[in-house]
Structure 1
Amino acid sequence: MRFHMQSLLRTAFAVAAIACVLPASHVQAGFGLGNQGGAVGGVMIDPQGNVRPATPAELKELAAVNLAAVGQAAGEIAVPADQRVISLGKLQAALKEHHETGGRLDPAVRFLAGMQRVEYVVVDKANNDILLVGPAEPWEVRQDGSVVGQKTGGSVLHLDDLVTAFRSVEIARNDGGIRCSIEPTTEGRLRLRNFLKNIKLRPGQNPAFLEAGMREAFGPQQVSLAGVPTDSRFARTLVAADFEMKRLAMALTKSPVQGLPSYLEMARNKRQSASQSPRWWMACDYDPIARDVDGRVWKLSGQGVKTMTEEDIVAADGSVVSDGSKDPLAVKWADTMTEKFDDLSKERSVFRDLRNVMDLAVVATLVTQEQLDRQSGIDLNVLRGNDSHIEMATYRLPESLSPQCSFIHGRAGWTVTASGGVNINAFGIVENQVESAELQTLVVTRSDDTADSRWWWDSK
């Protein structure tokens, strides 16, 4: 077997899912769970960008800390509901009271009453309110520290993400949407090319010994974020989901779902191109937003997330362009991940977290674009951060990350991909609307006790 330097430039390459490991002193008092940011998907990263798998002891400690902070859902909130209702007006009142009195927020507030997804946005003019409606269930803390629903295993919605979504609508508008990208540098690609220039493998020789040298030559990948504050939980979710997708694609972690092999398995006998490599990213996947004739009731539907791909063309100087072409096997892997997304998100909570932040970005953009707050007469200044000093948890996201390498041998050499990201075009989703007469019949009952200041209830 002859080893070709050019084809090794496509060595299978991916990086681990991340979270920011912070001492409690670095997390502001407010909505966060203290150092809940210690791990995502079982992988740790420190503020210097060192990525490694979390040890069993670390995961056990994280789960214990979160269980102590969160506890178990009890009382009425522990009862699953097909239509749980959140009043944004009363939620804001609860947040104002918390700001004035101090103390920690109740877990029910932090986890938005156990809601799993926002299915309806309702303009309640009679009460100067906007209501969010969706299924909910009691939460539990998994062994890896994730907070998920007891019934479905899906991540619960987070207040942090709702607030970030509302406060980021105009930022996203100016930035052309919400985006996350983790890319190798041009210089790194060129260094890798030079490193491999004179390397040859003997027949049957395992190339794993090259991994350390390749990582050093390739250098750190650059993390780019747009549309949301880079220190938010929302941003951390984007980065972590992107990395976990690459780990699955490049066989750096075992797929927890039957029928979702790695791209490496699919491409094992594929003839490789020395100048092209597949890029994957996750994007929004929604049906047209339905509304009633009066614009009073709005419905979100669809899976929420899909995986997309195209080919990167690598030039001799290490720069990359794309002509929109797609590798059929990369498309097959992307389509398979999309098909298996619901099952995958129950096993790897970061993917359900990603769908949740997409949902909330669409909700916040819908309210803003359609001026639903003006229609209802509600003032959303608390959620938008204009008249409150309530602080949210903050996290340090690294600007660059060290790579990990994985290898596959095809019929014509070796394969590399290190690019991808997340793209949330909430404005495009909101613009795609259809009128539905069925929504005229949707009835969302309010809490029985009109004097009750509780910000959530179950519609009967």
Structure 2
Amino acid sequence: MLKLIRAGIVASILALSIHASFSQSAFGQEDSQSKTALDKVQSFSRVGEFTRAFEEIANVQDAAMRDQGHSAIARMQMKAGLIHAAVETASYIENDVNRSEVLSEASAVRSKAPVARGGGVTPDFDQLIDLITTTVEPESWEELGGPGSIAPFPTGVYVDSEGTLKRVKQLSNDSLLSEIHDSSKIITTDQNVSTQSVLRKVSLTRLEKEAQLRWALGRDPTDTMRNLAGIYEVKYLLVYPETGEIVIAGPAGPWHANAEGRHVNVSTGRPVLQLDDMVVLLRNAMEEHGKFGCAITPTQSGLKSAQEYIDVTSAKPLHPRQRDQWLEGLRAAVGKQNITVHGVSPDTRVGQIIVEADYHMKRIGMGLEDGTAGVPSYLEMVTIPPGGSPPPMDVLRWWFTLDYRNISVTKERDAFALQGPGVKVLSENEHLDAQGQRIHTNASTALNATFARNFSTNYAALAVKYPIYAELKNVFDLAMICSLIENERLADQVDWSLTHFGSKGSYQVATGSPPTVVDTIMNMRVIDKKHIIAGVSGGVSFDPSDMLTDDQLTVDEYGLMTADHKASGVPKTIKHHGWWWD
């Protein structure tokens, strides 16, 4: 039985190799001949003659008929227990909806596959390969741009359809099934993800297909997929209706995990774009019109307790040595601040990034973290003129929002570029009533507005010192790109159904424990024996609707975007499973 399984696997590999050699043939036959060829494909598939079925595919001219043929072959391979071969065959189905149906069937069949008992062992090369490539110098393998390759090789023979034992002479070098590559191959610049690139391109449509193929086999996306081939800044969103591609392009290069565990570019230290973030934001654009955000706010009861604490303790002068104890008592009176996230799930990476960035910004504002040159804390900027009084015990509100000047676009609306810093901080002073209720003023004092302006002006420098702000910028850029895809109906233009990345897709993003509360962010400063107390609330608010109007789309008159669009199309030399290029 084991020999038959091994023989079946190798026979499938050979069939795929033959299929690859015929797939490039010119289709010049009449429709009737295509129909006859399709009938033969289905007939050969039913009796397990997969090699001959692949040969007949070359005679099918119509794309829809070819999809039928590949679907028929894949489903019969599933019945024969050749799940890997079926998934590889499905990769040639051009219609993503049809392909998704077949892959879903393959995934279901794989999950129900019986476990061998009684001494019979089914070889599991995938787990062995995954173990080797993730533990033995992971960056040396071809998947991360290294020279090493690895492949399953159950036996050196196969059994043909007539039962004859033969030696394997040729194997596919571009097969998801075997992932076999020539170990002596020279890695070119376009094939090495570790190479620095001024403008790397990632096809979202091709990436979705490759991620879904791996999903059907029970595999997670590769590290290269998760890190979007190392792109660390979005420069363009490009559309190619003639080839069915939606592409993001930007500078890229090798990455590693920094001390905080963030995946950052080796040279620049900037965080690289994340596939999970893009999927979350694509779904948000489809379901929530691109709106999302978070808030970190004190409770009403906590603010009331704080005011009562201040009233009670302000009867006596505060000795400098009592400052820390008094401030800790004030924090305890306020209690924890609530964290809420809307538009995206709080347990996703996007949800956690916006909360972390907001929390960190407020700590800088309160002097609990150092800023950069040009960004002193709010308390550092407070001055009290002779005979004057300190600022009132208002709640300072600071929040992040988007800051794009416009969106450059080609006349054909097939290339888009975001213009502007992307992120800024806004401010407001909120009054408190006797019950601790926050009263919005829709106004900001000069001092409060100055901190927000300083933070916004020096955002790039802050993002270098604290990568969390670069992460937030990446999230904002991806959110704008995803909103453009939805608002401009770009997926419809390229016949992309988002069967895996979309709202109802099977792609599962990684999740973690969502934060719900945080220690109160407040601080105190003493000037001329007068206490300046500051507390802060706010959050993140992203709403792209104002940026998606025709008024905000500026046509590129210089032709630079058109030239880059033309030069960035899918290269003719790209492999069947390729999804990025330089």
TM-score by length of 1: 0.79
Q: What corresponds to 2:306 in structure 1?
A: 192
Normalized per residue, the structure richer in helix is: 2
Q: What corresponds to 1:113 in structure 2?
A: 229
Q: Return the offset for 1:450.
A: 4.1
Q: Once the two structures are superposed, what CA deviation does each residue of 1:206-236 show, in whole Å capped at 9, x if it has no partner?
A: 4211233222211121111111112111000
Question: Given that residues 393 and 534 in structure 2 are in contact (C-alpha distance below 8 angstroms), is that contact kept between their aligned partners in structure 1?
Answer: no
SS in 1 for 2:326: helix
Q: 1:77 to 1:450 in 2, by over 3 A?
A: closer
Q: Return the offset for 1:341.
A: 1.1
Q: What corresponds to 1:447 in structure 2?
A: 571
Pair 1:436-2:541 in alignment: no
Identity of aligned residues (%): 26
SS in 2 for 1:238: helix
Q: Return the offset for 1:363.
A: 0.9
Aligned residue pairs total 389
- 2-structure distance, mates of 1:404, 1:288: 35
SS in 2 for 1:441: helix
- 2-structure distance, mates of 1:179, 1:415: 27
- 1-structure distance, mates of 2:282, 2:220: 22
Q: What corresponds to 2:382 in structure 1?
A: 267
Q: Return the offset for 1:413.
A: 3.3
SS in 2 for 1:126: coil
Structure 2: state its 5+ residue gaps. Answer: 1-133, 147-191
Structure 1: state its 5+ residue gaps. Answer: 1-65
Question: Given that residues 202 and 248 in structure 2 are in contact (C-alpha distance below 8 angstroms), is that contact kept between their aligned partners in structure 1?
Answer: yes
Residues 380-459 of structure 1: pairs in structure 2 closer than 5 A:
380-388=498-506, 390-410=507-527, 413-431=531-549, 432-437=552-557, 438=559, 439-442=561-564, 443=566, 444-458=568-582
Q: Return the offset for 1:252.
A: 1.0
Residues 26-425 of structure 1: pairs in structure 2 closer than 5 A:
74-75=145-146, 76-173=192-289, 177-200=291-314, 201-202=316-317, 204-205=319-320, 206-255=322-371, 257-269=372-384, 271-388=389-506, 390-410=507-527, 413-425=531-543
Mean Cα deviation higher: 321-330 or 263-272: 263-272
Q: Once the two structures are superposed, what CA deviation does each residue of 1:283-322 show, in whole Å capped at 9, x if it has no partner?
A: 1111211111121111112211111111112222211122
Question: Given that residues 200 and 231 in structure 2 are in contact (C-alpha distance below 8 angstroms), is that contact kept between their aligned partners in structure 1?
Answer: yes
Q: Once the two structures are superposed, what CA deviation does each residue of 1:389-441 show, in whole Å capped at 9, x if it has no partner?
A: x3211112132223254221246532222201111112222222222232333
- 1-structure distance, mates of 2:498, 2:466: 33
- 1-structure distance, mates of 2:465, 2:135: 19
Which has the higher relative contact order, 1 or 2, with Cα contacts under 8 A spaced 6 or more apart? 1
- 2-structure distance, mates of 1:71, 1:349: 24
SS in 2 for 1:230: coil
TM-score by length of 2: 0.63
- 2-structure distance, mates of 1:104, 1:303: 34
Question: Given that residues 346 and 514 in structure 2 are in contact (C-alpha distance below 8 angstroms), is that contact kept between their aligned partners in structure 1?
Answer: yes
Q: CA RMSD in A?
A: 2.3
Question: Given that residues 347 and 512 in structure 2 are in contact (C-alpha distance below 8 angstroms), is that contact kept between their aligned partners in structure 1?
Answer: yes
Question: Given that residues 408 and 414 in structure 1 are in contact (C-alpha distance below 8 angstroms), is that contact kept between their aligned partners in structure 2?
Answer: yes
Question: Given that residues 275 and 315 in structure 1 are in contact (C-alpha distance below 8 angstroms), is that contact kept between their aligned partners in structure 2?
Answer: no
SS in 2 for 1:253: coil
Q: Return the offset for 1:128.
A: 1.0
Q: Return the offset for 1:136.
A: 1.1
